[in-house]
Amino acid sequence: MNFEQLDIQGAFKISPNMIGDNRGAFARVFCADAFAAQGLQTNWVQMNTSISVNKGTVRGLHFQRAPHCEVKLVRCVRGKIMDFILDIRAGSPTFGVVCGAPLDASKMEMLYVPTGCAHGFQTLTENVELHYSHSEFYTPSHEEGVCILDPDLNLELPLAVSEMSERDKAHPTLKDTRPITL
């Protein structure tokens, strides 16, 4: 596996080593030893799937507050997305930094979202499916978000927004979001 450090401390784009032949392809997409060698969380307690029908759909930026802060491992299993992470950790050297990375299902790519960061994405194709591994259980009373359209984030969506929930549009800006203390 190739672990590419992103602009946010502790965030990685992960690309497996694919082996292919006339039958198709094989790749190891998770190995606790390989993740541990990078100092990454490997205890997943919940796995979720998200399906977005329309190209240009935006979801996020979502996170959970303590004591339910979580690490996410996001894998695009159908289609392509532009994935985004926002560091909202108090005292982090990369606080307020947003980074994006394209994920392509045909390449089996993943994004490692560290604790204390918000996550969101935009679909680049129709019929996108994501698989999420979580280090903490989903706890609605601790879920929050930052508006992905906050102009102060300087986040450039690659496409016009075709779909976005009213809830995601109503999330506060980064300035109006209390940082996460770990």
Domains and CATH numbers, the chain: 2-19+27-169 (2.60.120.10)
Q: Which of 62, 119, 134, 171 is catalytic?
A: 62
Tell me, what's the pLDDT at 41? 87
Instruction: Report yes or no: 16 and 77 within 8 Å, Cβ to Cβ.
Output: no
Confidence bin at 182 (pLDDT 50/70/90): confident
Answer yes or no: 62 catalytic: yes
Query: What pTM, to 2 d.p., does this model score?
Result: 0.94
**92 pLDDT above the threshold of 90:** yes
Q: What is the pLDDT of residue 110?
A: 96
Looking at residue 106, its pLDDT comes to 94
For residue 140, is pLDDT > 90? yes
Least confident of 19-28, 61-70, 73-82: 19-28
68 is catalytic: no
Q: Which of 119, 132, 134, 171 is catalytic?
A: 132
